[in-house]
Homo-oligomer: A and B are copies of this chain.
Amino acid sequence: MFRTHTCGELRISDINKQVTLAGWVQRSRKMGGMTFIDLRDRYGITQLVFNEESDAALCENANRLGREFVIRITGTVNERFSKNANIPTGDIEIIVSELHVLNAALTPPFTIEDNTDGGDDIRMKYRYLDLRRPSVRRNLELRHKMTIAVRQYLDKEGFIEVETPVLVGSTPEGARDFVVPSRMNPGQFYALPQSPQTLKQLLMVSGFDRYFQIAKCFRDEDLRADRQPEFTQIDCEMSFVEQDDIIEMFEGMTKYLFKEIRGVELEGQFLRMPWADAMKYYGSDKPDLRFGMKFVELMDVLKGHGFPVFDSAEYIGGICVEGAAHYTRKQLDALTEFVKRPQIGAKGMVYARVEKDGNVKSSVDKFYSQEVLQQMKEAFGAKADDLILILSGDNTMKTRKQLCELRLEMGNQLGLRDKNTFVCLWVVDFPMFEWSEQENRLMAMHHPFTHPKDEDVDLLDTDPAAVRADAYDMVINGVEVGGGSIRIHDPQLQAKMFEILGFTPEKAQEQFGFLMNAFKYGAPPHGGLAYGLDRWVSLFAGLDSIRDCIAFPKNNSGRDVMLDAPALLDPSQLEELNLVVDVKEK
C-alpha cells in the first residue's frame, strides 16, 4: 500500500495517528538539526519532519532528496509548533520514521510553482511538468466540473448524449477540413468534423427530440492567437421548438453552471438584444455589458458645422466616459494613438470634457459653438467631469468597430471589466446573409440551414440582404460563449435558400444531398446551439487564453511540441495509403 492518506487530508484531529503518505518533494529546508520537506500531491501539501538527533541516517537520506523526487513515507501526525494558516494541513506535520524513494527526478527546467520562472515555450515542451503547477491543474479540474454539471443539467432535462463519428465526410461551405486518407478505400479520404451540425440534424429527423454531445471538433485554419485546430463544443439540438424554447432551456443551463461552478446566482432573464442594436450601440455582436458607454450617434448634431472630418463622414459617434474629465492631454494623445494603430485603423479621435460648470471644452472648439456642444452633451446625457470621445469615418460598420475597441480600452483603463462580475445576454435577430467580397455573393452568416424570421420570409425574394434569421448568440462579458439557430425544416424554403446562396440544384444535391434526402422523410421543426467549452472554461477560470484550460494544447503552428507532432511518416505507411508527398519549394 502506497498511502493511507493524501497530502491534503490530515488535520489536527489526526494527531498521533501513524500514517503513510506518497507524493513529490516540493521543497526542502534544513534548520538546525531538523530537515523539513513539503510533500505535494494533487490534494495538497503536508510538511514532513526529519530529526537528525533521533535518526541521523534517515535525516541524511532526507537531505539527499531533490526537488520533484517521488517518495513514500511513514510517520506520526504531530501538532505543529508554528502553524501555517495558509494551507488546510497547516496545523500538523509528520514526524517521519520511514522513507522510501519511489523515483528520483532530474531537476525540472522551471519551478513547479504558480508563479513559475518557465516561459511559454519550455512549459509547453514539458507540459507534463507544467501540469503539476496547481494553477494549471485547477483549470482542468474546473473543466471537469463544468462538463459534469452540463451533463447533469441536460440529462435532467431529457437530453440524450449521442456520440457522432469523427471519421465523416467533407462538409462544404465551412472552414477547411482536416482529412484522413482511407487505406481500405484507396484514394479516398474521410474528413474530421468541424462540428456535428448535420449529424445532429439527422438525429432530429430520427426523432431523438433532445440531443447533446460534448464533442471534439476540428478546423484546419491558419491559427490566430487563441485558436486551436481541435476544440470542444457543447453541442445541442431540440425538436418541436421555437427560438424562445431554446433560449429558455439554455439560459437555465447557464444559470445552473454559474451556480454550481462559480457559486453565482444570476437573477432574472438575460437581456435579449437584436444584432442591429448590438452593432449600433456597442459596435460588436458580442458587447461587454459589464459597463455602460453606450454609443451615441452624432450625425445630426455635429455634421455641417464646417469641421471637414465630420462633414465628410458617413458616421459620427461617441461614448461618454463618466467622471474621466481628468484625463490628461498625454493620456488622450495615447488614446488617439491607440485608435490609430493599424489593427484598429481610425484616422483620429475627437474628445470633449464637461467642466465643473457644465461647459463643454472640446478638441474641435473652433468649429463648434458652445450651443452645439451643449446639444452634444444632452445627446450623451453627460454630466460635469465626464469625458466624451468621438470617432468618425466613411464606413459606418468599420467606425463602430473602432469605437467598440475604444470603449473596451476605456473599460480596461477604468477597471470596469472585473473578471468576477458576469453579465450575460442573448444577441438575437442576426442577419441571414452577409456579403462576401471575396466570393462576390451572399454567404450564410450562420450556415445554410438557418431559418429566416417568419416576418422576413417575403424579403427573400425582394431584398435578401435585409432578411434576419432565427439565430442567436449567448454573450458573457464580451465573449461569445455559444450560438445557434432554428433550422429550416421545409424542403422548399431550403431550396430557395440554396438558390440565394448561389447553389445550383445539382450542386446543392451533391453537397447536402444526404441531409436534404433525409428531410424528405419527415423532418420535425428543430433548432439548437453549441457552446465553445474551451472558451467558457477559460471565462470561468478568469484566463485570457483558452490554452491553459486544455491539457495538451498546440502552438500557433498547430504543433504539439511535447509529442513533436505532426511528423514525417514512414515511406511504407505512405505507400499503404497510396500517397506521395510532394512539397513544393516556396
Seen from chain A, the residues whose Cβ lies within 8 Å of a Cβ on chain B are 1-3, 6, 22-24, 40-43, 68-70, 72, 102-106, 108, 126-129, 131-132, 137, 140-141, 143-144, 147-148, 151, 155, 160-170, 176-192, 199, 202-203, 205-210, 216, 218, 220, 222-223, 229-230, 232, 240-242, 489-490, 514, 518-525, 550-552, 554, 557-560, 562-569, 573, 576-584
Contact = CB atoms under 8 A, between A and B. Distances in A.
Query: How would you classify the secondary structure of chain A's contact residues: helix, strand, loop or mixed?
Result: loop
A148 B155 contact: yes
Contacts of A166: 166, 192, 216, 218, 230
A103 B557 contact: no
Contacts of A185: 557-559, 566
Contact of A180 (B140, B164, B179): B179
A578 B567 contact: no
A353 B147 CA distance: 61
A537 to B, nearest CB: 11
Contact of A206 (B69, B128, B577): B128
Contacts of A179: 180-181, 569, 573, 577
Contacts of A203: 128, 131, 551
A148 B159 CA distance: 12
Contacts of A206: 128-129, 131-132, 137
A575 to B, nearest CB: 9
Nearest to A210: B42
B563 A514 contact: yes
A472 to B, nearest CB: 18
B199 A552 contact: yes
B520 A105 contact: yes
Contact of A105 (B144, B522, B560): B522
Contact of A144 (B162, B188, B568, B579): B162
A231 to B, nearest CB: 10
B144 A103 contact: no
A522 B207 CA distance: 52
